[in-house]
Amino acid sequence: KQPHKKVKKNEIPLEFTILATHNFARASIMRLPHGEVQTPVYMPVGTKGAMKGVTYSEMDDLGCKLLLANTYHLAYKPGGDLLEKVGGLHKFVNWKHNILTDSGGFQMVSLSQLSEVTEEGVTFESPYDNSTMHLRPEDSIHTQNQIGADIIMALDDVVRTTTVGPRMQEASERTTRWLDRDIEAHKRKHDQNLFPIVQGGIDPKLREQSLNDLIQREANGYAIGGLAGGEDKVDFWKTVAQCTAKLPVNKPRYLMGVGYPVDVVVCSCLGVDMFDCVFSTRTARFGTAFTDNGFLKLKNKEAANVFEPIQKGCQCQACKSYTQSYLHYLIARKEVACHLISIHNLNYLLQLMLNLRQSIIDGKLIEFTNGFLQNWFKNEG
């Protein structure tokens, strides 16, 4: 039985109840329009309204309660109008739990060769055909209102993390100006939560300014953006810590694009509640599986002689039924192996978060983190 009591229904579509803390780390329940989410949480990414190699019903079986999708890709196909017509993305893909949509801001970096940013907004040339897409803050929010996710993201001006000088400052300040246009354009404040995104790169002064400006706007939750882009680990940790120290204690914090097992453990300790990353399924497609002792490359010929599962005790479909040897052999049959390893990696991260969360509740976060890190780096000598 959960020790929380039902909080009086207020007018916002998000309730965040902290059950236990350890220093900066928190174990919480986030109540959203499509049910409860236990945090810290890892959100699997189905960019185009589909997971690569995994169905939504399999995500449900893994216990996933909050998935990520991307406005840029969905706006291109099937388009906001169609999604609105069918009653939103939940209905379209038959997903009964929560969804978060990213705004499209990040594609300014990932599709930088094809995009142009001005104060008005961003214009993309399609990587698929010769169409162009104008994404102003108003357009991103309108499409996200049509998609109907439980959490929607502000359109931010994203530049590479390692950018320095006036362009970084411009991007950070423009993100705040765009946020005011996002808030103005947002038509579903009663059932969709708009999260602002803190920017400012790894410059403490710019981060501080961004934090101050965004916190003033009193959102239901906040994201930390502009990281995991090739910066030094120390700069990364310092910036995360600066943000979590300043963001309101009683609201969820989402660290965007971070999902390496070690990073989610360390950043949960720093007070982050939500993570997303394509890495778990992307790396699975290259034959790499997550284990307690680090990454396991199933393509390597050593795997041919291991007649044990990827991870002893793992309850996923791949580990319950197959040996590393068989998975190594299957990699030649790409789709099947990718599917099984993706399921394993997603299950691994979802379970890692649940175990970490339980350790916060049990007052054993230090033991958990020490044990996790010792095992993870065991083979690195």
Q: Does 102 bind ligand PRF (CB under 6 A)?
A: yes
Q: To which residue do tokens 């803050």 refer?
A: 137
Instruction: Pick the closest to residue 266 from 64, 34, 24 (CA basis).
Output: 24
Give the contacts of 373 (CB within 8 A, at least 6 positions apart). 262, 265
Helices and strands per DSSP (H, E), number in the chain = 15, 17
Q: Does 100 bind ligand PRF (CB under 6 A)?
A: no
Q: Does 67 bind ligand PRF (CB under 6 A)?
A: no
Q: Does 259 bind ligand PRF (CB under 6 A)?
A: no
Give the contacts of 216 (CB within 8 A, at least 6 positions apart). none
Tokens standing for residue 189: 């404040």
Say how many residues touch Zn ion, by CB under 5 A: 5
Min dist. Cβ of residue 5 to Zn ion (A): 36
Q: Give yes or no: 102 in active site.
A: yes
- Residue 226: phi and psi, rounded to 5, are 75, 15
Min dist. Cβ of residue 91 to ligand PRF (A): 25
Q: Does 225 bind ligand PRF (CB under 6 A)?
A: yes
- Residue 203: phi and psi, rounded to 5, are -90, 115
Q: Which residues of 120-143 are buried (b: 16+ CB within 10 A; e: fewer)?
A: ebbebeeeeeeeebebbbbbbbbb
Q: Does 197 bind ligand PRF (CB under 6 A)?
A: yes
Min dist. Cβ of residue 109 to ligand PRF (A): 7
Question: Which is catalytic among the residues 102, 157, 182, 203?
Answer: 102
Q: Does 328 bind Zn ion (CB under 5 A)?
A: no
Q: Which of 15, 139, 150, 156 binds ligand PRF (CB under 6 A)?
A: 156
Min dist. Cβ of residue 308 to ligand PRF (A): 35
Question: 14 with 253: CB under 8 angstroms?
Answer: no
Per CB under 6 A, residues contacting ligand PRF are 102-103, 105-106, 153, 156, 158, 197, 225-229, 256-257
Per CB under 5 A, residues contacting Zn ion are 314, 316, 318-319, 344
